[in-house]
Amino acid sequence: MELLKKTAVEQHKALINKEVSALELTQASIKRIEELDKTLGAFNSLTVESALKTAKEVDDKIARNEEIPMLAGIPTALKDNMNMIGSKTTCSSKILENFVSPYDATITTKLKQNLVPILGKANLDEFAMGSSNENSAFNIVRNPYNLNKVPGGSSGGSAASVASSEVTLSLGSDTGGSIRLPASFCGITGFKPTYGRVSRYGLIAFASSLDQIGPFARSIEDIAHLYEAIAGYDEKDSTSLNLEVGNISGNLKKDIKGLRVGVIKELLADGVSDDVKNSVENAIKTYEKLGATIKEISLPLLKHSIGVYYIVATAEASSNLARFDGVKYGYRAQDAQNLLDMYCKTRAEGFGPEVKRRIMLGTYALSSGYYDAYYKKAQQLRRLIANDFNQAFKEVDIMISPTCPTTAFDLNSKANNPLEMYLTDIATISSNLVGAPALSMPCGFDKEGMPVGLQIIAKNLDELTLLQSAYALEQELGVYTQRPNI
């Protein structure tokens, strides 16, 4: 059990020193999932056979004294909206309940090339739509720090599986904070790279101009290694950037004296809980202690980001989810009288309430007579928000804020109030709108012992500065070493 709580870097050292085998590590992880997940609900399905096969391959290489990739043999989970051949990919939706992937996503292929045992598919809010992971058609996910609280969404299963030591690493997708919010609530690190840095081929789309795949881990060093493994150009993705990723993991340990840190004024104002504010202010003081310069900055149009996001994202979701109609794959209503009736009944029975809500919002925004007033206006504002970011980054190297104004909230406390739930993403949405890299890392705990997340945002394509600044803070704070008592 103690080995499962270690970072991927520590587990890698144990593997190459032959202190443990990859098979033993993977079996321990499987046993942990079997013991814990009936309560936690982090997984929709397991891929035990293929994971054990990969682990044995790693052990065979070690036995032959061959060099293994950094992440070889490290137990990992995929969010259940990423394709893996031969396994179910459900998006936690009834409409895809029995869909088996006919191909691998690019990120799945890259993990397999790195000999990473993929243990299963992690639970999520249906089609990645939600902030609490209460919208899954199969099971809610619980927070490992307090089983009566939410883990955050939509990648709640991915975050909870890492925080609880069921797996060491996982991948999530982030459309408006769906990696960073669960990372904050579950006390781990979650990273959304620059849009286009990681291929979206094989990711079931929610909002194509916003979605980005990224890693969850317990340390910045692990984040850097997993990011390097999955990032890079992919000709199968037309939005993929043909740029070198570089050696980030080998350049993390840099003195950050002189780093210009911008504190986003609008995100550390009224509405932020005292415990969150205190932890973030302590992180700011720590940056000062490390030699960084602190500057308060303003993003005047940030207040419009939620409105812009929920028009752009729902419009794209309306288009992307039109393919789920019962014709080619997925659930099909059985008692339809004609083709139109089959479409209507399939979608009515197959989609959950939140997905239907967003499809209707998006269809309305794109409809004749409303397109210019809503969708076009939202895209214009999106460009202006990006201008605010560009202006701010002339003065600072990174921007910081709370990841969320509060720590994890109680299960069912916001489920019947969509507007209040949407406001949970106030701090995270803007970086998706502009495509900037951003992460959430633990920076403290509230009075109930729930984790507080600090968000760090960098310029587009400047993942190196982002991860260097996060690593320096992480090492000084030391919060990342703490684990939930579960």
Catalytic sites, residue numbers:
79, 154, 178
Between the alpha carbon of residue 112 and those of residues 43, 76, 88, the distances in Å are: 20, 11, 17
**Residue linked to tokens 């911008």:** 262
Residues 200, 42, 52, 66, CA torsion sign: positive
Task: Say if CB 447 and CB 260 are below 8 A apart.
Answer: no
Rounded Cα–Cα distance for residues 252 and 14 (Å): 22
Rounded Cα–Cα distance for residues 161 and 115 (Å): 20
Helices 353-366 and 305-320 meet at what angle, rounded to 10?
A: 100
How large is the greatest C-alpha to C-alpha distance in the chain, in angstroms?
71
With a CB cutoff of 8 Å and minimum separation 6, the contacts of 80 are: 44, 45, 88, 89, 90, 91, 92, 121, 122, 123, 124, 157
Task: Say if CB 153 and CB 182 are below 8 A apart.
Answer: yes
Name the pairing type of β-strands 293-297 and 438-445.
Answer: unpaired
Let me know if 277 is exposed, middle or buried by CB neighbors in 10 A (0-12, 13-18, 19+): middle
Q: Map residue 354 onto helix, strand or coil.
A: helix
